[in-house]
A = this chain, B = another copy of it.
Amino acid sequence: MPEAVAILQRTPAVLDSLLRGLPDGWIAAHEGDQTWSPFDVVGHLIHGERTDWIPRARLILEHGEARPFDTFDRFAQFAASEGRTRASLLDEFAALRAKSLDELAALGLTDVDLDRRGRHPALGVVTLRQLLATWVAHDLDHVVQISRVLARQYSDEVGPWRAYLRIVSGTQG
Residues of A within 8 A of B (CB): 2-3, 6-7, 10, 13-14, 16-18, 21-23, 25-26, 120, 123-127, 129-131, 133-134, 136-138, 140-141, 143-145, 147-148, 150-151, 154, 157-161, 163-168, 173
Contact = CB atoms under 8 A, between A and B. Distances in A.
A173 B140 CA distance: 10
Given A10-B18, A133-B157, A173-B148, A140 B123 contact: no
Given A3-B25, A14-B17, A123-B160, A143 B141 contact: no
B10 A26 contact: no
B2 A124 contact: no
Contact of A158 (B17, B137, B150): B137
A33 to B, nearest CB: 16
22 contacts: A6-B22, A6-B26, A7-B22, A7-B26, A10-B18, A120-B161, A124-B160, A126-B160, A130-B158, A130-B159, A130-B160, A136-B154, A137-B161, A137-B165, A140-B151, A141-B147, A141-B166, A141-B167, A141-B168, A144-B147, A148-B173, A173-B173
